[in-house]
Structure 1
Amino acid sequence: MKDPIRVAVTGGAGQIAYSLLFRIGNGEVFGPEQPVILQILEIPQAMDALKGVVMELQDSAQPLVHDIIATDDANVAFKDANWAILVGGKPRGPGMVRADLIAANGPIFLDQGKAINDNAADDIRVVVVANPCNSNCLVAASNAPDVPKDRWFAMTRLDENRARAQVADKAGVLSTEVTNVGIWGNHSASQFPNFEEIKVGGKPATEVIDDRGWFEGDFLTTVQDRGKAIIDARGKSSAASAANAALDTIRSLITPTAEGDWFSAAVYSDGNPYGIADGIFYSFPLRSTGNGDWEIVEGLELSDYAKEKAAATQDELLKEREAITDLL
């Protein structure tokens, strides 16, 4: 059996972590022959709840879990970590707007960035889940100068999965028939799931679903506002689907992408081929060469409509960056 890898997960007593920790432990992400050491971070007030999660992990008797470290010290949680999944953050409270959420979470990710910089393994890769994930990722990465920027990812895979499901349902096919789903920009209501590039059974989705009005209307708004719709229906935010998307992101990064297809994550925008401003974490269609290495898909011919949408979500990210300048 291989040597274990260390996987740090923050917000370990929360709903998203509860949905993903057991799946990491059963080999669903890194494979059935890859042991893991789970290093789980929580705030002091939630340590009792985290103890209960640890007891359940122990009671699962998963042979791939070689150790479980539960802590409220970020330096301990990120010690020698090969992967970090940053789930924990301050949720939006009553009356809070997005700017308030950015301001509240910035200091959390500043501290975590420093702890990752000072303690993580040389091959660390970080997936930021907690919202606003693009700007949280920027804060953390900016405070980890020794960790290359191409090791950081903000999660837009949930948006990709939502878009794929909507197209599959509309076309009357399985989700596996829907490919080339790319999310552009911010994980927010400004994001652009570029339906002009999506394929269904290898054919352009706009030909299979001959309804441009649906794509520009219900499709876009459903994907962009799905999180709010789930809160309205369930009374709680997305948890299982968010955990699933985080694990999908890692799998896509460590597995070579199928020929002609791509996946989505927000990456550092410097030097991108589409004229998006430098210095932000912006979601692009990506391809992985395996082992955590990736590249932005080049050569896509964006229509004027797509360019307008891509620029609008870029502008939102630039405004978010202005709000956290003192943390970068």
Structure 2
Amino acid sequence: MPQVPEYPVLREAVALACRAPSVHNSQPWKWVSDGSVLHLFADRDRLVPVIDRAGREMILSCGAVLDHLRVAISAAGWDTQVTCFPDRTDADHVAVVEFSPSAGLDTTQCRRAEAIPRRRTDRLPLAAPHDWPALEATLRAVVEGDAVMLAVVADDDRAQLAAASRLTESIRRQDPTYQSELRWWTSPFELEQGIPASARVSVSEADRVDVARSFPTTGYGARRARLGPDHAKIVVLSTASDSRSEVLRCGEVLSTVLLDCAVAGSATCALTHLTEIAPSRRLISQLTGQPGLAQVLIRVGQALPEGEHPPATPRRPAAEVLSVRR
């Protein structure tokens, strides 16, 4: 008989895993336990169709939640073996997770699990990260020998990237279908998904962040005013192609990068608006000298120690995302 965590342990691990980031906080995943293994499915009912018609960012999001699950269950004393895309007839069957008791707790995974509740998308201006050389070395070690490539945009190239970001957002402002989709995911009546006002920024705050997706602004004032403009480093994760397996793996690496930054006390903001447009993706490749296709950018910086931190964004309850197949 296969050994599996008891249901309450599994449920708590899934709930923690679902703190993973996703495009527009759409949470496009569902979990099914059959008593012996745990299945991860992409949830196409939660696809964000205007910006992600092909479902690439949906799979990226599923990669992030899959890695969060591995971290959470490892901290509970279980090892995992994952088979990705196990069913050729069902493209939305993302992974099968098998379990075995751990011989001992992995301290690195435990630190990452403890960081999951602290990690959130911080769209406010950030100071430069503390001890960036050491943190950069940690992040590069995550992708060493991996199919995912990591690069850092040089400070001298940031102005070009910022100009591309502004142009992308300018084009999007003229697209009524994009604006309609954005308004839906930022609507105030959604309590368990989307991007609430508390996670967005005011006009004056947005003006100080040069590489960002534009969301409907809020009534907040000028939080972190003494920081001035954004000084976050910009990390780029790329893959050789947009294949499902590579994009999924990139989502897993994204999860690890975000959690390792949280462990180090750094704030982060994952960005995909520039990777949704072909010319911007080409520019990113040129600026980083990195072959392949950019999948996600990550602002990494430091928030002020006193207050002014965005609260955690809402998540659907575990009962809604986890079902049991008898």
Scaled to the shorter chain, the TM-score interval is under 0.3
With a CA cutoff of 8 Å and minimum separation of 6, indicate the structure with the bigger relative contact order.
2
Higher helix share: 1
